[in-house]
Every structure is written in structure tokens, then in C-alpha cells.
Amino acid sequence: MIYVDTSVLVALFARELRSHAVARWYAGTKAELVSATWCVTEFASALGIKQRTGQVDHEQALAAWELFGRLVANDLRLLTLGPSDFYSAAMMTLDAASALRAGDALHLACAIRAGVKSIATLDDVLSRNAQRLKIKPVVFP
């Protein structure tokens, strides 16, 4: 089971620097993919930001949203977040040395609770914190 961070989902469906590497990884993975329900809101937010900054137009954002919906329906199991996840994330962000933002800490708390051994992320801070907690980051060559 591999936990998938929203940064990877965005790169999969919106053109970014690492999109080709992420697409190759996704095409070749046989593992079960999971993420927190939080990724739905975070993915929509990323598309909104991309529209506001002119990186994608409205039609491209809608196409990415539709593809994301298909992924969730077929290949990505969403894990619900509970009070303990929010508390765990709060404790992680309270540690200033972690440099974690709230959303990334929620992803990490959910990944820990799910017992994943690997995480797919393009976020360096999340990757470093996952490694510290013995969760192996996926390498995107």
C-alpha cells in the first residue's frame, strides 16, 4: 500500500515539471494506492490556484478534475480523517523543527494510522518527515 500525497495527484493530471516521472510511476505501480479524503479539497484548491495564476484555463481544470474523479473511483482508496488524525497532525506541526504545514501533517497522520510503508510525494518537507517516521518515499526519477 502506497500513500499518495496531493502533490503527486496534481502532477498526474496538470502539466508540471515532474508530470512525466509521476505518470511513468503510476503506469508501472501495482500497489494499492490510498490517500486521505482531504486530498479532494486540496486537489480542487490546486486547480483553482492554477486557474488564477494562468497555468491552466477553466476547461483544462475541469478535464483534470474529471480525470481525478476517475482515479478516485477506480484506483485510489480514500481514507477518512478522524479526530485522532487532527490531533496527531497538530502535534507534528507544533514541532517547529518538522517544518510541516497543516495539510501535509494531516496526510502524514493519516498515512501513519493506515500503516503504510511508502509515500508518494513531491514535497521535500513531507518526504523528510515521512523518512524520519520510517515511511519510505517513492523516488521519481
Structural domains in the chain, sorted by start? 2-137 (3.40.50.1010)
Note whether 129 and 100 are within 8 A (CB): yes
Residue-wise pLDDT for 103-132, tens only, equals: 999 999 999 999 999 999 999 999 999 999
Average of pLDDT values for 22-32? 96
**Cα(first)–Cα(last) distance of the chain, in Å?**
20
Residue 141 has pLDDT above 90, yes or no: no
Residue with cell 490510498: 34
**Do strands 76-79 and 2-4 pair parallel, antiparallel, or not at all (unpaired)?**
unpaired
Residue-wise pLDDT for 29-88, tens only, equals: 999 999 999 999 999 999 999 999 999 999 999 999 999 999 999 999 999 999 999 999
Distance CA 96, CA 100 (A): 8
Distance CA 35, CA 68 (A): 13
